[in-house]
A = this chain, B = another copy of it.
């Protein structure tokens, strides 16, 4: 089919391979895979997980939970600090499915206890080193206090401790990811050891794509919640979580102008398609995406040496390329660009086209309701 504007292509083969690989790894380590669906946000892509036997998922908002509940998912963790303003929607959802919430303060625990109508699972959000949200992993007294609130009554069922080592996304090497993983895991193991006698069913839930992709030691980890791995992206390849061949999405963009005098090509594809995320590559160059080779039938290959997105404005993408590439490219050609951060690019594009030309729709956040 003829692409006319920026189009997000997905290679189902690659995505399904990524799913199976992560699932196999989880099983090998006796950990349940509860994939985070905020990366693909699509009921149809979620089916690819179901086909492999995945029955639980994590999402990042109440609305996203509603979307996947309507798509038949009945065991969902909202892996985001519970937003007390959404208690009404949470109560409705908790009537229908097994819903898990994350809390990280006594205040929110008390609110939930007072206002929840149906039984919900509760994870305590633990900060094991990332320092974004969560309870200090070593603050046993506060954790104990909050557990007393949660277990007071029969509506809230304590599930365990949930952590996200998001600082692995800034890691420069596999070794650095490994180091972060060792530290956060030891924190979580100590925490589990401290509370396991009192709460024998508690689980440890870990989740971030770099550690789940790179590390091999998951002792005492009962559940993993990676999300990005289904598609991966340039940032993950840069960290070492995947190879370029594992990247399952590419943004197809038309060439609209050429400026050989400064080694630049302008594509129709900008910040409103890619997002503004960038990485600093090995040559200290800030890049917003890589350009992969064109293969047959809307498929792409690996990145072309020296061809990268150097600048993004709202709809314009500026690609740096060597002379030879610029000479070969024609205005009207389609370039397949590998995104830096597939979660944000997918969210912006809000629809997929498979390499077979099939449309795949996704969730849309409904603002102001």
Contacts and interface: CB of A to CB of B under 8 A. Distances in A.
Interface string A78-91: 00111111100100
In this complex, the member of A60, A313, A314, A368 whose beta carbon has the largest number of chain B beta carbons within 10 angstroms is A368
Contacts of A86: 4-5
A166 B368 contact: no
A63 interface: yes
Contacts of A254: 83, 85
Interface in A158-201: 166
Nearest to A131: B262
A165 to B, nearest CB: 13
A43 B316 CA distance: 23
Interface in A73-128: 80-86, 89, 104-105, 107-108
Interface string A19-38: 00000000000000000001
Nearest to A166: B313
> Which range contains the number of A residues in contact with the other chain?
35 or more
Contact of A315 (B61, B272, B349, B367): B61
A256 B367 contact: no
Contacts of A304: none
A313 B272 contact: no
18 contacts: A3-B368, A5-B62, A6-B365, A7-B367, A60-B315, A61-B268, A61-B315, A80-B256, A81-B256, A83-B332, A108-B331, A131-B262, A133-B257, A166-B313, A271-B344, A314-B347, A348-B348, A352-B368
A2 interface: yes
A276 interface: yes
Contact of A4 (B83, B315, B349): B83
In this complex, the member of A61, A85, A352 whose beta carbon has the largest number of chain B beta carbons within 10 angstroms is A85
Given A5-B61, A80-B268, A85-B332, 6 more contacts: A5-B83, A81-B266, A83-B254, A84-B331, A132-B313, A276-B344
Interface of A: 2-8, 38, 60-63, 80-86, 89, 104-105, 107-108, 131-133, 166, 254, 256-259, 262, 266, 268, 271-272, 275-277, 311, 313-316, 318, 331-332, 343-344, 347-353, 359, 365-369
B316 A5 contact: no
A43 to B, nearest CB: 18
A133 B257 CA distance: 7
In this complex, the member of A2, A63, A367 whose beta carbon has the largest number of chain B beta carbons within 10 angstroms is A367
A344 B277 CA distance: 13
A268 to B, nearest CB: 5
